[in-house]
Amino acid sequence: MTKKILVLPGDGIGPEIVSQATKLLDLLIEQGLDVTYDNALVGGCSFDEHGVPLTDEVLQQAREADAILLGAVGGPKWEGYDISVRPEKALLKLRSELALFGNLRPALLYPQLASASSLKPELVENLDLMIIRELTGGIYFGQPRGIRTLENGEKEGFNTYVYSESEVERIAHVAFRTAMLRNKRLCSVDKANVLEVTELWRQVMDRVAKEYPEVELTHMYVDNAAMQLVRAPKQFDVMVTGNMFGDILSDCAAMLTGSIGMLPSASLDINGKGMYEPIHGSAPDIAGQNKANPLATILSVSMMLRHSFGEAQIADKIDAAVSTVLDQGYRTADIYTDGMTLLSTSEMGDAVLAALK
Ligand code: NAD
């Protein structure tokens, strides 16, 4: 049956980078891939048009789609608005309403870009690490939360860090299954020496590990994990952690690769339906200039084909096409080095298409 993709370009550079990905989809459809796609508004542009960052209609379209491709949302224009209508709220709502609890963030360093990392090349050469972040629970969603006024008139902000056993269990299964497809090493990151919620996290991880005897499970405190990521990142294969720790560690891992414009991500539900997006934001500083790197969004399409549509061969071809354009010396401004050929966003999209053809 024809698969349906909902395309949500969003704000800032979102429309520029996503149109490179839809050019690619058009080519794949021409070559026989059985998918269709529709575009819709999300984020600040939806707020401008409808007064909310995500309308009920778009949420319904997202429910009905087999996968979602998102650009990025947000920008200075909407920063002053109440948190309930800020563009980022649309992402949180999509993730929680569609139960997209498993966030896969690869940190892969293309050998052609080894010099772009802030670490010494020998520390990051051939780095291939997958961070799995729980995305719909933990302190970002826990209740109660808010800012209250105490009896003495002072204000106090508070959030709740909470995980149920079942929430930890389902992300544990995603992590162990991912480790089984890779080098069978899983590091679970917590702060079990201080936080009871992560003491439970560790107990559940140990319990689920018994179902995956081939996977070597280790535990690491989050402060040590942050240190180890910048000291010797190649020691890791798959890391799994909660929402807030994962938010921070996955950005740190992304920087090891030297370019935020190269990294895709997937957020999956229990059945493998997913929302796919580059890890970067809407880059308001370069929006509308045809300068942004579209490769993370193009690689998000590859992840979509691999994880939601079971089209690993086409995904491999897209990954190879990206590698080819890097071999050809093509670079957008963010990954440009002397001697390379500087391309615009749309030229980079065309180069990937040419490599794929
Ligand atoms: P950002 O990722 O948008 O930009 C950080 C830096 O990286 C900027 O210098 C930008 O120009 C550069 N950059 C990002 N993507 C690039 C690309 N594809 N090609 C070349 N350079 C690129 O992060 P920020 O500046 O902290 O946030 C800007 C806005 O994006 C904010 O409103 C923020 O809330 C939002 N944001 C959205 C998402 C999302 O939609 N998932 C994620 C992060 C931030």
The answer to whether 58 and 8 have CB atoms below 8 angstroms apart is yes
Binning pLDDT at 50, 70 and 90, where does residue 126 land? confident
The reported pLDDT for the residue numbered 144 is 97
Average pLDDT over residues 80-95: 92
Tokens of 257: 């690769």
- Judge if 1-101+269-357 and 109-129+136-261 fold alike in CATH terms: yes
Give the integer Cα–Cα distance in Å for 28 and 36: 11
User: Does 18 score more than 80 pLDDT?
Assistant: yes
The reported pLDDT for the residue numbered 255 is 85
- Cα 298 to ligand 1 centre (Å): 16
Q: What percent of the chain has pLDDT over 70?
A: 100
User: Does 214 score more than 90 pLDDT?
Assistant: yes
Higher-confidence position of 357 and 60: 60
Binning pLDDT at 50, 70 and 90, where does residue 50 land? very high
Average pLDDT over residues 292-318: 95
User: Does 182 score more than 90 pLDDT?
Assistant: no
Average pLDDT over residues 29-35: 96
Instruction: Look over the chain and give the mean of its residue pLDDT values, rounded to a whole number.
Output: 95
**What letters, b where the CB count within 10 A reaches 16 and e where it falls short, cover 266-283?**
bbbbeeebbbbbbbbbbb
To test the ligand 1 pocket, which listed residue (93, 260, 275) has its Cβ within 8 A of the most ligand atoms? 260
Q: Whose CA is nearest to atom 20 of ligand 1?
A: 292
Binning pLDDT at 50, 70 and 90, where does residue 272 land? confident
Cβ atoms < 10 Å from Cβ of 94: 23
pLDDT tens across 337-357, in order? Answer: 899 999 999 999 999 999 998
Q: Which amino acid is at 282?
A: S
Binning pLDDT at 50, 70 and 90, where does residue 322 land? very high
Tokens of 178: 């991912």
Q: Is the CB of 73 under 6 A from ligand 1?
A: yes
Q: Whose CA is nearest to atom 8 of ligand 1?
A: 283
The reported pLDDT for the residue numbered 321 is 97
The reported pLDDT for the residue numbered 154 is 98
User: Does 270 score more than 90 pLDDT?
Assistant: no
The reported pLDDT for the residue numbered 178 is 86
Average pLDDT over residues 243-263: 90
Domain 1-101+269-357: assigned CATH number:
3.40.718.10
Reported as half-sphere exposure (CB side, CA atoms, 13 A), residue 4 has a value of 10
User: Does 137 score more than 90 pLDDT?
Assistant: yes
**Residue 159, class by beta-carbon neighbours within 10 Å (0-12 exposed, 13-18 middle, 19+ buried)?**
middle
Q: Whose CA is nearest to atom 13 of ligand 1?
A: 283
The answer to whether 245 and 222 have CB atoms below 8 angstroms apart is yes
Domain 109-129+136-261: assigned CATH number:
3.40.718.10
pTM of the model as a whole? 0.89
The reported pLDDT for the residue numbered 16 is 98
For helices 312-327 and 295-307, the axis angle rounded to 10 degrees is 160
| Residues recognised as catalytic | 140, 191, 223, 247, 251
The answer to whether 257 and 117 have CB atoms below 8 angstroms apart is yes
User: Does 258 score more than 80 pLDDT?
Assistant: no
The reported pLDDT for the residue numbered 84 is 86
- Cα 261 to ligand 1 centre (Å): 9
Give the integer Cα–Cα distance in Å for 25 and 31: 10
The reported pLDDT for the residue numbered 355 is 97
Q: Is the CB of 289 under 6 A from ligand 1?
A: no
Q: Which amino acid is at 29?
A: I
Show me where the domains of the chain are located. Answer: 1-101+269-357, 109-129+136-261
